[in-house]
A and B are shown apart, each in its own frame.
Chain A
Amino acid sequence: MNVTGEPIIILLVEDDEDHAEIVKRSLKNHRVPNKIRHAADGQAAVDYLFRRGEYSNPEDSPRPHLILLDLRLPKMDGLEVLKQIKQTEGLLRIPVVVLTSSLAETDVARAYGHHANSYLVKPLNFKRFTELMTDFGFYWLGWNLNPFDRDRTDVA
């Protein structure tokens, strides 16, 4: 929570509607207030971040404090999205957490190679999935100091 009490905005980039629902449900009643914006493919995510097309109004498409990114996406894959974020001066400080079903070593290596801030694998087990999302919430939305939370005092 930031000092103004406004919820943290998360951009969820996920093509699988069901998986997106899982994440939304897991974070809905979290103690850290948050708002989820959902992009269903890589192109939509990039359009949102660069405020193009339907996302051109900053009121409706606020800059996210955190990005949850799937790797295997239609149109533009997750690595390309990551690359564009980390090459853009205005976006590269937004923490990007990769959330994918891939355990492949090459995916992990390439994600960190493009400066991903964290790499999480979707667990097969419900309990573990909800645990992961809870912990994720505490870590990334609570403990972790975000570059936009300059005036945060609750961590100290």
Chain B
Amino acid sequence: MTIESRIRITTLVLILYAVGLVLVLSWSSHQVGRGISGIETASQINRSAFMLRVLMKDYLEQGNKRILGQWDEQNLRLGRLLDEGQLSESLDTALLEGIRQRYQAVNHLYPRLIEMRASTETGDLNHDVTATKMLSALMFLQLEQLVHTANDLSMTTQTLTLKKRNFVGSLIVALGILAVMVILVNIHLIRRSVVYPLQMLSKGAESVGAGDLELVPETKSDDEVGKLTLAFNTMIAGLRKRTSDLKNAHSELELRIEERTAAYEQVRTQNDLLQAVLRAQTQFISFANPQELFRNLLHDLLTSTDSEFGFIGEIINTSEGEIYLKDRAIADISWDGESRKTYQKFADEKGLDFPIIRGLWGDVVRTGNPVISNDPANDPRRGGLPEGHPPLSSFLGLPFRSDGEVIGVAGIANRPGGYTQELVDFLQPYLATCANIIEAYRNENRRKAAEAELVLAYAQLEQRVLDRTAELESANERLVREIDERKRAEQSATTERQRFNEVLEILPAYVVLLAPDYHVPFANRFFEERFGKSGGKRCFEYLFGRTEPCEVCETYTVLKTNAPHHWEWTGPDGRNYDIHDFPFADTDASPLIMEVGIDITEQKSAEAEREKLITELETKNAELERFIYSVSHDLKSPLITIMTFLGFIEHAIAEGHTDNLNTDLERISRAASKMGQLLDEVLELSRIGRMFNPPTEIPMRDLVDEAVELVSGRIAQRGVKITIAPDLPVLYGDHPRLLDILQNLIENAVKFMGDQPNPEIEIGAREEAGETVLYVGDNGIGIEACYHERIFRLFDKLDQKTEGTGIGLALVKRIVEIHNGRIWVETEGIGKGSTFCFTLSHTVRVDDGEKLT
């Protein structure tokens, strides 16, 4: 809560308090004023009552009628006062009511008393003196009580007013005390929320002024002082951050100065090195002694790398493939006596050759990379030191490269603290300079050698011109001879070409050349005979009359693969060609395709024929196997029955039980006749395999009529309605067999009518996918989808109880297949009938007489 709102609330409380005080004071003064007027009225009533008693006493004692006038006046006054008192709220109503009753009682008694008194005075004896006295006494008693009650009223009113006055007094005192307390509390609150936090803040400001940034004054409230404290804290935090930023900036600055100093050092060293490089180049340009030049380079290298001693060499590749290291400079180091001699020997112009390159040096030469070894004694690459070589504590090998080839090396050793990659990087310009110098040096040498060679060559050339002139003369003679020979050879080539053309022309295959733009630059006679001349047209245009290349053509893949391609092609003449395509270059080397096509139509059809025969044979074999299996199984079953029941009978007779004899004999007889039937049918089936009758044309309608006639007995017995479609085709095949098909299918349909109340059979033909489908449909029991294949199997019956051996549909299938047809059943399931459909594909003629193929 903010201080401003606190002050507002406080002011509001004070105003409310003052208003309340004024209200209370006015209310209490009103109350006291009313009490005082009440006292006045009560004392007047009291006085009037007292006067009435005095007047009555005087009248009764003196009998003065004048007193009665005073009484009436006083009595009237008391009645008025009582009416007034009734309106006043500060008088006790109970007491006032009591006074009023007495007053009425007195006024009731008064006329009687006056009358009684008057009669007594006139001497009327009828009136009892005693009664008068009693009435007077009663009057007195009433008056006495009236006075007493009026006195009570006066007293009570006074006491009540006094009480009210006291209460108002104490109320004023209490309100005064409360006002003082409210003011005190307010002062305390303002002190606590304003003065104390301000003191804290001023303390904080003092300590910040003294440099202490760690002090953080507490903020508890969210009032103005709280916000002030918060702002103060934010300010201190800002100060703290700014101070630490300054510190950081200072240390960063110091670091940068250090870096700058180090960079300066590096630049200075680099400058030294560049100066050395410049010096070396200047010396080289001024044709200084190479020995001198490399010595200076080595000196600079040693100085700039703080190395103790070193070496610069050039790589010499001998013609034998060996690699030599030729010393160009060597630091004067303290070797032993022998090596000192060697060093002296080296000091002349020729330098010193090291024939074997191995160890750390070798690594530099082989890899072409710098080699750093800060512990050469234990380095796995080391190759050992020569006799008298000063000890190595660190080693740096540097290659000089030109065009990727190592043409020289520098080796420096014993730098305090060893060598680093940074140092190697730093030395790059130096290395490049050394390489340039060696390369330039080499070039210089080569130029000198070339000049000498040129002089020699010139002399040789003169000699050669002389030789060549002589040679030319003899060559001319030879040429004349060769031209003669060439002419003869050309003659024979023409003959050869003619012969080759002959071969191409009479070849029983076509040969064409095809250009990438699909034109046909050459075609042999075979090709032109088959497909005509191209006449400048593109191959697809004149072969197939197309406007764009054929999708199926594989010829042009040769252009992509540049390899021979072998495929088969069907030409516009409908014949099959075995195609060989070869990449071929024309005389001007432009790409062509040579295509050779061999007519394989006959070969292919023979092949297809053979495959068809094989498939047929396989089908027949499988069928035969199935047939043998079924026959063996189904013929065996009745045999088992016969044999076993014969055994039972034998046994029974031996034991004398003859109860089952008759039924057993019946079983045997049934089995035997079933076996006979099976054998007959098997024979029939095998006979179908060899079509006895030559095929003839039979109108299907005639066949249907014949078949219906054969089954008419059963049809009539079951009451089947037969519907035969009009426009049935003419069939072509073995007449009795085709009749077998229809007879069997119709018989079957009648047999499996179930309990159909309106049995119907429909026989017809329909065109479907280019073939004629013949069908026999019924509305009988139908066949479940899972049995659609099984029903055509030999001796396979779905219901063992039905008559027949299960050969019917197998037989039908066999006949249909012999006529190259297919047979299947269409049914919507149990109870929805079934339709047997079959085709006799290539032997069916439609009724307009045109043969279908």
Binding site for B on A (CB under 8 A): 15-16, 18-19, 21-22, 25, 40-41, 72, 74-75, 101-104, 122-127, 129-130
Q: Are B636 and A126 interface neighbours, CB within 8 A?
A: no
Can you list, as one digit per residue, whether each of B615-659 has a CB less than 8 Å from chain A (1) or not (0)? 000000000000001001110110111011111101100000000
Q: Would you give the shortest CB distance from A128 to chain B, in whole angstroms?
A: 9
**Which residues 392-435 in B have Cβ within 8 Å of A in the complex?**
none
Q: Give every chain A residue within 8 A of B799 (Cβ-Cβ).
A: 74-75
Q: Give every chain B residue within 8 A of A130 (Cβ-Cβ).
A: 647
State whether the Cβ of B796 lies closer than 8 Å to any Cβ in chain A: yes
Q: Give every chain A residue within 8 A of B633 (Cβ-Cβ).
A: 72, 101-102, 104
CA distance A130 to B647 in the complex (A): 9
Known A16-B637, A125-B643: A74·B629 in contact at CB below 8 Å: no
**Can you offer 23 A-B residue contacts whose CB atoms are under 8 A?**
A16-B637, A19-B641, A21-B667, A22-B640, A22-B641, A22-B644, A25-B648, A41-B800, A74-B797, A75-B799, A101-B633, A101-B636, A101-B637, A101-B640, A102-B632, A103-B632, A104-B629, A104-B633, A122-B636, A124-B636, A126-B648, A126-B650, A129-B644
State whether the Cβ of B787 lies closer than 8 Å to any Cβ in chain A: yes
Count of A-B contacts judged by CB separation below 8 Å: 65
State whether the Cβ of B134 lies closer than 8 Å to any Cβ in chain A: no
Known A18-B671, A40-B800: A126·B637 in contact at CB below 8 Å: no
CA distance A44 to B641 in the complex (A): 23
CA distance A102 to B795 in the complex (A): 14
Q: Are A126 and B644 interface neighbours, CB within 8 A?
A: yes
Q: Would you give the shortest CB distance from B815 to chain A, in whole angstroms?
A: 24
Q: Are A127 and B647 interface neighbours, CB within 8 A?
A: yes
Q: Would you give the shortest CB distance from B818 to chain A, in whole angstroms?
A: 26
Residue of B nearest to A126 (CB): B647
CA distance A16 to B671 in the complex (A): 10
State whether the Cβ of B613 lies closer than 8 Å to any Cβ in chain A: no
> Which of B639, B651, B800 lies in contact with A74, CB distance below 8 A?
B800
Q: Would you give the shortest CB distance from A73 to chain B, in whole angstroms?
A: 9
Q: Would you give the shortest CB distance from A134 to chain B, in whole angstroms?
A: 13
Residue of B nearest to A41 (CB): B800
Q: Would you give the shortest CB distance from A100 to chain B, in whole angstroms?
A: 8
Q: Would you give the shortest CB distance from B138 to chain A, in whole angstroms?
A: 125
CA distance A13 to B633 in the complex (A): 17
State whether the Cβ of B798 lies closer than 8 Å to any Cβ in chain A: yes
Tier of interface size on chain B? 20 to 34
Q: Give every chain A residue within 8 A of B637 (Cβ-Cβ).
A: 16, 19, 101
Residue of A nearest to B670 (CB): A18
Can you list, as one digit per residue, whether each of B652-693 has a CB less than 8 Å from chain A (1) or not (0)? 000000000000000100110000000000000000000000
Residue of B nearest to A125 (CB): B643
Q: Are A18 and B645 interface neighbours, CB within 8 A?
A: yes
Residue of A nearest to B647 (CB): A126
Q: Give every chain A residue within 8 A of B636 (Cβ-Cβ).
A: 101, 122, 124
CA distance A74 to B783 in the complex (A): 13
Can you list, as one digit per residue, whether each of B773-810 has a CB less than 8 Å from chain A (1) or not (0)? 00000000000000100000000111110000000000
Q: Give every chain A residue within 8 A of B797 (Cβ-Cβ).
A: 74
Chain A interface mostly helix, strand, loop or mixed? loop
Q: Give every chain B residue within 8 A of A101 (Cβ-Cβ).
A: 633, 636-637, 640
Known A19-B637, A25-B648, A74-B797: A126·B667 in contact at CB below 8 Å: no
Q: Would you give the shortest CB distance from A69 to chain B, in whole angstroms?
A: 15
CA distance A125 to B647 in the complex (A): 8
Known A15-B800, A16-B641, A101-B637: A126·B787 in contact at CB below 8 Å: no
Known A75-B787, A129-B647, A130-B647: A124·B798 in contact at CB below 8 Å: no
Q: Give every chain B residue within 8 A of A25 (Cβ-Cβ).
A: 648
Q: Would you give the shortest CB distance from A32 to chain B, in whole angstroms?
A: 21
Further 5 A-B residue pairs, CB within 8 A, beyond A18-B645, A74-B798, A102-B632: A15-B800, A21-B667, A22-B645, A22-B648, A129-B640
Q: Give every chain B residue within 8 A of A103 (Cβ-Cβ).
A: 632
Q: Would you give the shortest CB distance from B737 to chain A, in whole angstroms?
A: 27
CA distance A40 to B797 in the complex (A): 13
Known A104-B629, A122-B640: A75·B798 in contact at CB below 8 Å: yes
Residue of B nearest to A123 (CB): B640
Q: Are A126 and B796 interface neighbours, CB within 8 A?
A: no
Q: Would you give the shortest CB distance from B33 to chain A, in whole angstroms?
A: 114
Residue of B nearest to A15 (CB): B800
Q: Give every chain B residue within 8 A of A15 (Cβ-Cβ).
A: 800
CB-based closest 4 A-B pairs: A126-B647, A18-B641, A101-B636, A15-B800
Q: Give every chain B residue within 8 A of A127 (Cβ-Cβ).
A: 647
Residue of B nearest to A103 (CB): B632
Q: Give every chain A residue within 8 A of B650 (Cβ-Cβ).
A: 126
CA distance A125 to B648 in the complex (A): 11
CA distance A66 to B671 in the complex (A): 28
Q: Give every chain B residue within 8 A of A123 (Cβ-Cβ).
A: 640
CA distance A74 to B632 in the complex (A): 17
CA distance A126 to B640 in the complex (A): 8
Q: Give every chain A residue within 8 A of B796 (Cβ-Cβ).
A: 74
Residue of B nearest to A25 (CB): B648
Q: Would you give the shortest CB distance from B803 to chain A, in whole angstroms?
A: 14
CA distance A102 to B626 in the complex (A): 13
CA distance A72 to B798 in the complex (A): 11
Residue of A nearest to B667 (CB): A18
Residue of A nearest to B671 (CB): A18
Q: Would you give the shortest CB distance from B663 to chain A, in whole angstroms?
A: 9
Q: Would you give the shortest CB distance from A30 to chain B, in whole angstroms?
A: 15
CA distance A127 to B796 in the complex (A): 30
> Which of A41, A75, A124 lies in contact with B643, CB distance below 8 A?
A124
Q: Are B646 and A126 interface neighbours, CB within 8 A?
A: yes
Known A126-B646, A126-B650: A19·B640 in contact at CB below 8 Å: yes
Q: Give every chain A residue within 8 A of B787 (Cβ-Cβ).
A: 75
CA distance A101 to B645 in the complex (A): 16
The residue in B640, B651, B800 that gathers the most chain A C-beta atoms within 10 A of its C-beta is B640
CA distance A92 to B671 in the complex (A): 35
CA distance A19 to B640 in the complex (A): 8
Q: Would you give the shortest CB distance from A68 to chain B, in whole angstroms?
A: 15
